[in-house]
Structure 1
Amino acid sequence: MKITLLTVGKTEDTYLKDGIDKYTKRLKHYIKLDIIDLSELKNTKALTTDQQKTKEAELILKKLANTDHVILLDEKGMEFTSQKFANFLDKKAIGSVQNLVFIVGGPYGFDQSVYDRANDKLCLSRMTFSHQMVRLFFIEQLYRAYTILKGEPYHHE
């Protein structure tokens, strides 16, 4: 199974980039991970929030294949412990999901068209984090999940 993290905008802060790089390198031992950063919209001051979400949705939907299993990182999504997230990923792999695509939206969230395309929603926390930080938190949780599945000593309960 391949996993793709699709994000709106680039990670700008060096400390976040370093953390993402650290866990991305570690994940190479377990899975094929692609990170796709879509360009942030330009000249958004003249656009309403809904117009921005619609334009971001167009960019997101263009990157998805019909066979992709799409999971939005969204505050209204499923909440898991790290162990349950690992089990969720394992079930997707066993269930013959070929490409699991996790999406981090822009600062205003997702347009309804992206919600309509999604197969699932995942909530990392009930707290709100910047969409920059969510990337690092997600990649670390992905790494943690695979160490759990392999019985390696990274995760402690």
Structure 2
Amino acid sequence: MLQIKVLAVGKIKEKYLKEGLKEYAKRLGAYIRLEMIEVEDEPCPERASAADEARVKQKEAEKVLKLISPQDYVVLLDLLGKELSSPELAVLFDEKGLSGQSRITFVIGGSLGTADEIRKRADYRWSFSKLTFPHQMIRLILLEQIYRACKISKGEPYHK
């Protein structure tokens, strides 16, 4: 069974997002083993300098990288990454499973983005869209896409 870990910097505060995440985690239980880990974000001054922002991203990266195993296939959610369709994500899951790489870790950086160390560790950099999404909402969108890909992979109907 595919093991998927979602590492995200920052806490979810909105109740509706927490409920949505809980619902998709429940649905995904039939397809994968899911682990969701929140990494505490670093405080950043309101008018942060470039050096302050780099320091924040570096500290957040250190926390994230400690939670990634050497055998994990790491997918970084990155604005500059490659876009994937839902069927292409399903193919990625199938390919990883068939090649014996059943541990996939998705990384969602902090509100300032991610440090270069995480980009270097990533096996794949995935952009959802050229649109900007609220930082906390992206976790829910990610879980929905993972669920959709699992259904596609199993040949089950899904809403197009």
User: Which whole-Å deviations, capped at 9, do the CAs of 1:94-132 have from their partners, x for residues lacking one?
Assistant: 111131100000001110111111111111111111220
- In structure 1, the partner of 2:27 is 26
Task: Report the AA paired with residue 74 of structure 1.
Answer: D
What do you get for the CA RMSD once the two structures are aligned? 1.3
Q: What does residue range 114-133 of structure 1 map to in structure 2 within 5 Å?
A: 114-133=118-137
- In structure 2, the partner of 1:97 is 101
Counterpart secondary structure, 2:27 = helix
**For residues 80 and 40 of structure 1, what CA distance do their matches in structure 2 show?**
28
Counterpart secondary structure, 1:152 = coil
Runs of 4+ in 1 over 2 A off after TM superposition: none
Q: Structure 2 stretches of 5 or more lacking a match? A: none
Does residue 82 (structure 1) correspond to residue 90 (structure 2)? The answer is: no
- In structure 2, the partner of 1:37 is 38
- In structure 2, the partner of 1:3 is 4
CA contact (8 A) 1:148 1:155 kept: no
Shift of 1:154: 2.1
Task: Report the AA paired with residue 145 of structure 1.
Answer: A
- Superposition TM-score, scaled by structure 1 size: 0.93
Q: 2:77 aligns with which of 45, 69, 73?
A: 73
Aligned residue-pair number: 155
Alignment identity in percent? 40
- In structure 1, the partner of 2:154 is 150
User: Which whole-Å deviations, capped at 9, do the CAs of 1:56-91 have from their partners, x for residues lacking one?
Assistant: 111111111111111101111121111111111111
